[in-house]
Amino acid sequence: MSNENGNWCLIESDPGVFTELIHNMGVRDVQVEELYSLDSDTLRSMEPVFGLIFLFKWQGAALQSGAKQNAGQVVDNNDVFFAQQIIQNACATQAILSILLNRESEIELGETLTNFRSFASDLPPDMRGLALTNCDQIREVHNSFVRPESFLTDPDEPKRPAGEDDDLYHFISYVPVNGRLYELDGLRRGPVDHGKSADWLERVGEVIQQRMGEYKEGEIRFNLMAVIGDRRKKLTEQISGVDRDISVLMAELEKLRLEDSKDLGDVESRIAGLNSERAELEHLVDLENGKFARYQFDNALRKLNFIPFVYQLARAMAEKGVLEPAVDKAKEKARNQPRRQQRPAM
Amino acid sequence: MATHRQENALTFKAGRMYRDGETNWVRPDLRKGECQMTFIGSGAVRLRWTQDQSTVASGEEPTRPAQEEFVFFSGDAVAEKVTQSEGRVYVIKSKSTSTRLFFWLQSSDADMDYQIEDAINAHLLDDADRITDDSEDDEDDEELREALALSRQTGEQLAVVRETPDLRASMLPTAQVGGNRGGNDVVVPPSNGGMDQLRQILSSFQVPEITRGGKSRLAVQLGDVLTPEHLAPVLADPEVRRALLPTLPENIPRSSARDLENIVRSPQFQQALAALSYLLEDGQIAAVVSQLGLDPQASTSVAAFLEAVGRQVAKEKSKDEDDDATMQE
């Protein structure tokens, strides 16, 4: 890692973090969802799906690229925006960009990413990776998630060397370009072509499942995320659609009443059906709102320097006379549990 | 060796303890010995351990040095009792490096141990009020300046660990300047004979598994003290919540007891406690801790930090009471 690339902090692979990163890069109407199932119906319910991020953590000793060869050919294809991975910690951002920059016709990228794409598209993959790590705006957004504890250490203290003790994460992005499914792995020299497919959501499930099958149980831990369109925007549009249908039916009902028609029941039950559909959509909007409030809460705490809070809590405990007994109890516990596991999360 | 002002020196009887190979076990060295701590200028204190010649077992290969020297910069190291051991075991921990020196006190009166501990700490802190140091430009000082310059060059604030020249071949091959070698105490094979006898008095103890950063896993964790259970009754007090308000971000709910409970139960808070525990045990956030008006001791461990907060609150309380009393008069 050279200094001119600056430092990129390690980022938690969490949909709330990824969603905020994308938003702060200036991209509109895109969010990230964690996937717990690979079946195409699940994926289809999330449409528009722009791409999938398969993120895995090696439990083993070394990070190897393409440990076992899976299907697909590394290709040179200028239609695909592929950047090689230059530094490890930039991976979250790089995974996201691998998808966004290949779906630029459907996504409002915003100024920063539009400029970056037009600047980097003439470069070879390794230079694209370098250009990314040197892009100040992108790095600033990425580093807004730096753990606040890392600023607390005394400036003269030797910093803990990055990477040595950190878990090894790697990501692969899957994205359709011009009707073919590509796997973008920053450690390979180019995109991997998984062939032409009319339904990439079907194909990507097969490819990822095959890949997961290559690892032994317990060898890796993985995390699958989908980069999708803004759910609330989509739901709101669906609600408007239902409202339009309801007004049409209401008008029809009125007309039938004027005609003293006996066939009101059918239209009425269709309206009732639409109303319950609407209520269901409203409920989904509420769930999304709750989720985004949760993201805001989690992300605010992720960025918080907790020292003043911890200090005030300890003071409050001391004022109430409960600090000392609690410390004594903790000392006792520490003595009796010589092997307890604890690792710093930094 | 240069001469030093004897009135500044601290001498106490102690034996060494060594880490057993690469394990986490620290075992006593049977030899009797003496430690002497002397100020040597440039804000440094030298700790010299010398073996008592009378205790050398005849015919036994002396695998460990008869004398060792360590140099600590003022404020960089702290001595504390090793609670995992039943014996009179003390460790001197460097805050900036992973150096840990273990000693077992051998003076006849064990009741005086805590005074020795205090005296060691006073020397490690180089309390300028108590001990004046007219800088002696001796060879050690020169050597020390070089080491200091070197450590500044590498951007690290290091404790210098070095040996007397005549012992150079036998010990600490790579630790002349202690860097983050990780978990490095003096690594020498355990001695034999007489060990069993001593074990009765002074059982070996297991030191924390040292991670690459040289941290201890045995210590008190903030998460063991600031538990949601301990905090719930505290957070029920609106006065406490008012004091916490400015320490939390504005864009999240943070005023009700329920809001605060959500925060102290969040994984982010738990992670922060683990990270802060690590930094406190490693002595890495001394500057931040001193900004809170806590005494320097507070940045040496989690327990020390919390105890310092307790002392600070108690002090403020008694001051308030005094003020109240004055007002009444």
Hey, is the C-beta of B236 within 8 angstroms of any chain A C-beta?
A: no
B247/A312 touch (CB, cutoff 8 Å), yes or no:
yes
pLDDT band at A157 (very low <50, low <70, confident <90, very high): very low
Q: Is the confidence at residue A330, as pLDDT, over 50?
A: yes
Answer whether A298 sits within 8 Å of B220, measured CB to CB: no
Q: Looking at A196, A229, A262, which one is the last position of a domain?
A: A229
**A207 within a domain of the structure (yes/no):** yes
B276 interfaces chain A, CB cutoff of 8 Å? yes
Residue A310, chain B, CB below 8 Å: the answer is yes
Catalytic positions of A are 91, 170
pLDDT value, residue A30? 96
Contacts of A322 in chain B (CB under 8 A): 230, 233-234
Shortest Cα distance, chain B CAs vs residue A315, angstroms: 6
Whether the pLDDT of residue A135 is over 60: the answer is yes
Which residue range is the domain that position A269 belongs to? 232-302
Residues A140 and A239 in one domain: no
Please tell me which of the candidates A153, A165, A300 has its beta carbon nearest to residue B284: A153
Q: Quote the minimal CA–CA distance from B190 to chain A in Å.
A: 22
- Is A265 an interface residue toward B (CB < 8 Å)? no
What's the domain count of chain A?
3
Geometric angle at alpha carbon A225, from A344 and A213, rounded to 5°: 90
Task: State the Cα–Cα distance between residues A21 and A44, nearest whole angstrom.
Answer: 24
Of B211, B279, B305, which is closest to A165 when you measure between CB atoms? B211
- Only one residue has tokens 């004055």, namely B326
Residue written as token pair 């992670």: B271
Give yes or no: residues A71 and A186 share one domain: yes
- Do the domain assignments include residue A98? yes
CA distance readout (Å), B307 to A315, A316, B6: 10, 13, 35
Same domain (yes/no): A54, A190: yes
pLDDT of residue A326: 93
pLDDT in tens, chain B (329 residues): 333 444 568 889 898 887 765 555 677 777 888 999 887 766 678 888 988 877 655 444 456 778 888 877 777 788 887 766 667 888 888 766 667 788 888 887 788 888 888 888 888 876 544 443 444 444 444 444 444 444 333 333 233 333 232 222 222 222 222 222 223 232 222 233 333 333 333 333 333 333 333 334 467 889 999 999 999 999 999 999 999 999 999 999 999 999 999 999 998 898 889 888 888 887 777 878 888 888 888 888 899 999 999 999 999 888 877 766 665 55
Report yes or no on A346 lying in a domain.
no
Confidence of residue A252 (pLDDT cuts 50, 70, 90): very high
Judgement on whether residues A177 and A209 belong to the same structural domain of the protein:
yes
A54-63, A115-124, A251-260, B169-178: range with lowest mean pLDDT: B169-178
Do A35 and A114 lie in a common domain?
yes
Please give the pLDDT value at position B326: 63
ipTM: 0.79
Mark whether A236 and A220 lie in a shared domain: no
Contact between B2 and B139 (Cβ < 8 Å): yes
Query: For the residues of A233-284, what is the DSSP string, one character each?
Result: HHHHHHHHHHHHHHHHHHHHHHHHHHTT-STHHHHHHHHHHHHHHHHHHHHH
- A55 touches A223 (CB < 8 A): yes
Q: Which residue has tokens 């490693």? A: B282
- Are residues A81 and A164 located together in one domain of the fold? yes
* Contact assignment for B234 to A342 by CB distance below 8 Å: no
| pLDDT of A295 strictly over 80 | yes
Work out the pLDDT band at A86, boundaries 50, 70, 90: confident
Q: Is A342 on the interface with B (CB under 8 A)?
A: yes
Same domain flag for A246 and A206 = no
Nearest-by-CA chain B residue for A331: B220
With beta carbons less than 8 A apart as the criterion, state whether A1 and A130 touch: no
Residue A343 lies in a domain: no
> Based on the domain organization, do A135 and A158 belong to the same domain?
yes
Asked whether residue A75 is assigned to any structural domain, the reply reads yes
Give B292's contacts in chain A (Cβ within 8 Å). Answer: 307, 311
Mean pLDDT of A17-41: 90
A345/A142: higher pLDDT: A142
Cis preceding linkage at B238, omega within 30: no
Question: Could you say which of 3.40.91, 1.10.10, 3.30.1560, 1.10.2020 is the CATH number of the domain covering B222-328?
Answer: 1.10.2020
Q: The CATH number of the domain where A80 resides is what? A: 3.40.532.10
Indicate whether A75 and A38 sit together in one domain: yes
- Is residue A344 in some structural domain? no
Better-predicted residue by pLDDT, B182 or A192: A192
Q: Is residue A339 part of a domain?
A: no
Q: Which CATH number fits the domain B6-206, given the four candidates 2.10.260.10, 2.30.29.70, 3.40.50.2300, 1.20.1740.10?
A: 2.30.29.70
Q: Where in chain B is the domain with CATH 2.30.29.70?
A: 6-206
The confidence score (pLDDT) of residue A115 equals 93
Q: Which helix (H) or strand (E) holds A310?
A: helix A307-319
Cα-based distances in Å from B79 to A178, B49, B122, B132, B203? 68, 15, 10, 21, 20
Q: Of A167-171, A218-222, B90-94, which one has max mean pLDDT?
A: B90-94
In a shared domain, residues A168 and A282: no
Q: Which residues of A touch B277 (CB under 8 A)?
A: 342, 344
Residue from the list A165, A316, A340 with its beta carbon closest to the beta carbon of B234: A316
Judge if A322 and A244 occupy the same domain. no
For residues A71-89, give the mean pLDDT: 79
Task: Please answer whether residues A196 and A15 qualify as being in contact, where contact means their C-beta atoms are separated by less than 8 angstroms.
Answer: no
State the best of A323, A333, A340 to mutate against chain B, taking most chain B CBs within 10 Å: A323
Chain A stretch 147-166, residues whose beta carbon is closer than 8 A to a beta carbon of chain B: 147-149, 152-158, 160, 164-165
